[in-house]
C-alpha cells in the first residue's frame, strides 16, 4: 500500500519540470528568480519609487536580461539576450518579421527614442502584448519585472538606446 502511494507521488514529480522555453532553445532554468538572486542583488525592487535613482544605461538593461531573461533567450533563440549578442538582436530589428512568426505584430523590438514602437517594452510592460504572454515568465507563473526595471528599459529606449 505504502509502495503504491510512493509510486503515485513519484509519478507526479516530473510534471513541474516540463520546460516551456523558447521554441528553438533546449535550455530552461526552472526558477530564474533564484538564479538571479544567487548572482547578485536585484537592480531595484517594487519597493522603490520612480526611477529609483538608477541611470538608464545599456549595462543596467543588460543586467536585467542577465537576471531574468537569458535562461530562455540565449544560444539558439532568435532573440538572444546574452551579453554581446543582445544589442544586435534588438535595436532596429524585428526578428519575428524576419522569420515570419506570430510576433510579427509587434514590429521592431527597439526603436531608438520611441518606446511606444518598441516591442521589447510592450512585452515586459503589457499584460496582453499583441502576441504571446508578458515577459518574463516561468512554467509556474508570469512574474512581471518590478515597475522601476520596466521604466529603466523605457528610459533607455527614450534616451536613444545607446550602447553605453
Ligand atoms: C521561461 C522562458 C522565458 C523567459 C524567462 C523569458 N522569455 Fe521572452 N519569450 C519566451 C518565449 C517562449 C517566447 C515566445 C512566446 C511568447 O511571446 O509568449 C518569448 C518571446 C519574447 C519576445 C518576442 C520575441 C519576438 O520574436 O518578437 C521578447 C521581446 C521577449 N520574449 C523578451 C523577454 C525578456 C526581455 C525577458 C526577460 C525580462 C524574457 N523574454 C524572459 C520565453 C521566455
Say how many C-beta atoms besides its own lie within 10 A of residue 60's C-beta.
Answer: 17
| pLDDT, greater one: 118 or 48 | 118
Q: Say if ligand 1 is within 6 A of residue 119 CB.
A: yes
| Least trusted range by pLDDT, from 29-43, 52-66, 100-114 | 29-43
Q: Do 54 and 145 touch, CB atoms closer than 8 A?
A: no
Ligand 1 centroid – CA 160 distance (Å): 23
Give φ, ψ of 14 to 5 degrees. -65, -20
Q: Do 51 and 153 touch, CB atoms closer than 8 A?
A: no
Average pLDDT, the chain: 83
Q: Do 28 and 74 touch, CB atoms closer than 8 A?
A: no
Per residue in 12-45, pLDDT tens?
444 333 344 444 445 555 555 545 445 578 899 9
Q: Do 143 and 124 touch, CB atoms closer than 8 A?
A: no
Q: Say if ligand 1 is within 6 A of residue 109 CB.
A: yes
Residue 139 has pLDDT above 60, yes or no: yes
Distance of CA 25 to CAs 20, 97, 129, 134, 160, Å? 10, 19, 21, 18, 30
Q: Where are the domains of the chain?
A: 28-158
Ligand 1, atom 17, lies closest to the CA of: 132
Q: Say if ligand 1 is within 6 A of residue 133 CB.
A: yes
Quick one: pLDDT at residue 16?
A: 39
Q: Say if ligand 1 is within 6 A of residue 87 CB.
A: no
Quick one: pLDDT at residue 78?
A: 93
Q: What is the pTM of this model?
A: 0.82
Quick one: pLDDT at residue 20?
A: 42
**Those residues with Cβ within 8 angstroms of residue 40's Cβ, 6 or more apart along the chain or in another chain:** 63, 67
Ligand 1, atom 33, lies closest to the CA of: 135
Q: Which sign, positive or negative, has the C-alpha torsion 149, 35, 94, 60?
A: positive
Q: Say if ligand 1 is within 6 A of residue 22 CB.
A: yes
For the chain, give the number of residues: 164
Residue 46 has pLDDT above 50, yes or no: yes
Amino acid at each position: 500500500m505504502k509502495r503504491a502511494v510512493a509510486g503515485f507521488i513519484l509519478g507526479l514529480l516530473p510534471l513541474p519540470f516540463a520546460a516551456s522555453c523558447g521554441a528553438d532553445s533546449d535550455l530552461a532554468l526552472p526558477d530564474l528568480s533564484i538564479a538571479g538572486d544567487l548572482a547578485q542583488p536585484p537592480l531595484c525592487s517594487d519597493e522603490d519609487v520612480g526611477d529609483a535613482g538608477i541611470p538608464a544605461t545599456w549595462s543596467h538593461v543588460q543586467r536585467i536580461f542577465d537576471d531574468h531573461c537569458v535562461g530562455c533567450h540565449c544560444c539558439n533563440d532568435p532573440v538572444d539576450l546574452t551579453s554581446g549578442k543582445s544589442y544586435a538582436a534588438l535595436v532596429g530589428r524585428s526578428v519575428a518579421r524576419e522569420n515570419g512568426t506570430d510576433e510579427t505584430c509587434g514590429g521592431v523590438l527597439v526603436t531608438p527614442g520611441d518606446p511606444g514602437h518598441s516591442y521589447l517594452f510592450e512585452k515586459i510592460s503589457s499584460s496582453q502584448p499583441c502576441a504571446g504572454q508578458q515577459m518574463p515568465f516561468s512554467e509556474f507563473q508570469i512574474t512581471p519585472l518590478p515597475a522601476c526595471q520596466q521604466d529603466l528599459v523605457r528610459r533607455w529606449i527614450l534616451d536613444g538606446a545607446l550602447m553605453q
